[in-house]
Structure 1
Amino acid sequence: MPTASRTGTAGRDDTNDAAADSFHQFVEGWLVRQEHFLDELLSVEQHCHESQDEDLEDLISRVLFHYEQYYQEKSRVAQRNIFLVFSPTWFTPFERSFLWIAGFKPALAFRVLNDSVNNLSEDQYQRMSRLIENTRVSERMMNDELARIQESVASPPLIDLTRRKGRVGDDDVVRDQSAIVTLGSALESLLARADLLRTDTVAKVVEILNPVQNVTFLTAVTRLQHRIRDLGLQRRGQRSK
């Protein structure tokens, strides 16, 4: 129970905990549904050339909508507390090592594509090459912006503010409030742009590929995410022994 001296921060702690718990529950359910999608993708992938394009496109649309739901919920929790999204307790330390601006790096989609789809036409290759270059430019711009945000918070540093959010005394809150608000606003704006780049990149990849290639690509993406999740849980379990 919070003591009387923490009355000023108890409400924020409760709000932060509620937001974290709510999104953690959503992620757990979302991962279960994603596992079902992986089973369906693996099954369809084995018989892709026997399937109608309409059936493949229906599956592709459902998988993409599943990811869209994740970003919608993530946006809601970011609006409640952006710092939670940048220090996500719902992921294992191993999973967090893959994060770039609180999510996967858009260029990762191209690495998965190169490892899974090797029958691009010349037109597809040219369009994908342009998309890769444009995505890299956007990533560099956001890296620079994140660096400027970090440099702008000289005292206390960004990571210190993130860790102390909601867990400091009233005097410290007053002193740091302006920096925290400015930092949070900047991070929220950057996250929105990064998430838009992530979703736009995948959408454009899907637009370039044909239905059979898309099933192969989305199967590889989903399988990779599950592999990272499983490895993270295994490593966390080994450390707790």
Structure 2
Amino acid sequence: MDYASPGGTDTSTDLDVDKMNQVFEQGHAGALTPSDSSAKPNGKEGPKTLRRLAQNREAARRSRLRKKAYVQQLESSNQKLAQLEQELQRARQQGFLISTSGDQPFNSANGNGALAFGVEYARWLEEHNQKVDELGAAVSAHAGDSDLQAIIDAIMARCHEISRLKDAAAKADAFQVLSGTWTTPVERCFLWLGGFRPSELLKLLASRLEPLTEKQLGSICVLQRSSQQAEDALSLETEMLRQSAAETVAGASGSSSSCRAAGSSAGDCTGHMAAAVAKLGALETLLRQADDLRLRVLLEVQQILTTRQCARALLAVSDYFSRLRALSSLWISRPPTGMN
């Protein structure tokens, strides 16, 4: 057989096929690129090929990680969706009861608004946590102030958004917002007029943001005192409103032996109850003022702190509320007490 005939096209073809088979067996698809001048003729890969193969492996690894994270996110979203559907079902059972006496459906119109806010809040919280995670990654990576400020502004914009959504929910049913039905049980324990107490938040920041300058500490202390005064004033107004409504209802019950009595006494009772409803309508305004106070305190804190301190403050606040939600989960899953 002629192994080296210069005019033998069959021999060159066989050599090419052998080379291709060897490359595919080794898994080095990049060695087939004819333009790679760094590839060595003895079958060993050159530096460019090795770099390309390493880049391909790294790209494949990142792709697998992204796919894994995406699958985990889908599973988490499905779990949250299932939980929301259960909550919606319970809310329908509790908020759309039909009276057997032929009256109108209980809380049908207002229930829709409060229920919609619960769904919107769950969506808002998920997106808010994503922004907080982005901020945490930027802080860990020692990002510049301009990059941090852009994320901080986005988080502050989301705080304004939830305030707007809460205001719309209060117009539908102020008592749903006041009771904080969209929050976890432990969060509801610390709730004040549909949200957090700004003064308590300032105490948290003063202890978690050390070291602060004397001027910064003084400004935070002044802001804390003014916030506490505003909170006390709103709490007092809420209590006076409650007492006034209770006295009005008591006056209605005392105007006759029964609100179901016929004649003018029933009319007097109806008038008293209408007056009580009108007084309770002021609760919507108090809830809006409380949210305005929360936003105003956040904005003033942002002016007191540096950009990097403000980023750390937002992370500290987010961590605090995450711990409250975690504590609520532990409380719910705790073993029953007082049972044999």
Q: Give the TM-score taking structure 2 as reference length.
A: 0.60
Superposition pairs for residues 149-188 of structure 1, below 5 Å?
Answer: 149-155=241-247, 176-185=273-282, 187-188=283-284
Letter in 1 for 2:233: M
Alignment of structure 1 residues 188-207 onto 2, 5 Å = 188-207=284-303
Greater relative CO, 1 or 2 (CA 8 Å, sep 6+):
1
| Cα deviation, residue 184, structure 1 | 2.2
Letter in 2 for 1:20: A
SS of 2:242 mapped into structure 1: helix
Contact 1:38 1:223 in 2 (8 A): no
Q: Percent identity?
A: 27
* Partner of residue 63 from structure 1, selected from 148, 151, 155: 155
Q: Tell me if structure 1 keeps the 8 A contact 2:117–2:169.
A: yes
Please, which moves more after superposition, 203-212 or 145-154?
A: 145-154
Q: How big is the shift at 1:237?
A: 4.2
Contact 1:135 1:201 (C-alpha < 8 Å) held by counterparts: yes
> Deviation of residue 132 (structure 1)?
1.7
| Distance across 2 between alignment mates of 1:133 and 1:227 | 26
CA RMSD of aligned residues (A): 2.6
- Between 1:104-113 and 1:175-184, the stretch displaced more is 175-184
* Letter of the structure 2 residue corresponding to residue 113 of structure 1: L
- Offset from partner CA, 1:117-162 (integer Å, 9 cap, x none): 01222322222222122112212222221221122122477xxxxx
Q: Please, which runs of 5 or more residues in structure 1 have no aligned partner? A: 158-168
Cα distance, 1:17–1:201 mapped onto 2, change above 3 Å = same
- Please tell me the residue identity of whatever aligns with 2:279: T
Query: Does residue 197 of structure 2 align to residue 105 of structure 1?
Result: yes
Say which of 111, 129, 133 aligns to 1:35.
129
Is 1:44 matched with 2:172? no
* 2:184 aligned residue (92, 113, 116): 92
In structure 2, C-alpha distance between the alignment counterparts of 1:39 and 1:100, rounded to whole Å: 27
In structure 1, give the amino acid aligned to 2:273.
D
- On the 8 A contact 2:171/2:284 being kept in 1, the answer is yes
Which residue of 2 is the match for residue 219 of structure 1? Answer: 315
Number of residue equivalences: 225
In structure 2, what is the equivalent of residue 160 of structure 1? none
Aligned 8 A contact 2:139 2:148 in 1:
no
2:65 alignment partner in structure 1: none
Q: Determine if contact 1:153/1:179 at 8 Å carries over to the other structure.
A: yes
* Match among 100, 122, 131 for residue 223 of structure 2: 131
2:239 alignment partner AA: A
Q: Does the CA-based 8 Å contact 1:83-1:184 persist in structure 2? A: no
Task: Please state how far the C-alpha of 1:213 moved relative to its aligned partner.
Answer: 0.2
Shift of 1:22: 0.5
User: Does the CA contact (< 8 Å) of 1:112 and 1:217 recur in 2?
Assistant: no
Conserved 8 A contact 2:117-2:165: yes
Shift of 1:56: 0.9
Q: Contact (CA 8 Å) 2:135, 2:148: kept in 1 or not?
A: no
Deviation at 1:236, TM superposition (A): 2.9
Residue among 98, 106, 130 paired with 1:2 = 98
**Distance in 1 (alpha carbons) for counterparts of 2:99 and 2:231:** 45
Aligned partner of 1:176: which letter?
Answer: M
The structure in which a higher percent of residues are helix is 1
SS at match of 1:235: helix
Which structure has the larger Rg over C-alpha atoms? 2
TM-score normalized with structure 1 length: 0.83
Give 2:37's aligned residue: none
Cα deviation, residue 179, structure 1: 0.2
8 Å CA contact 2:248–2:272 kept in 1: the answer is no
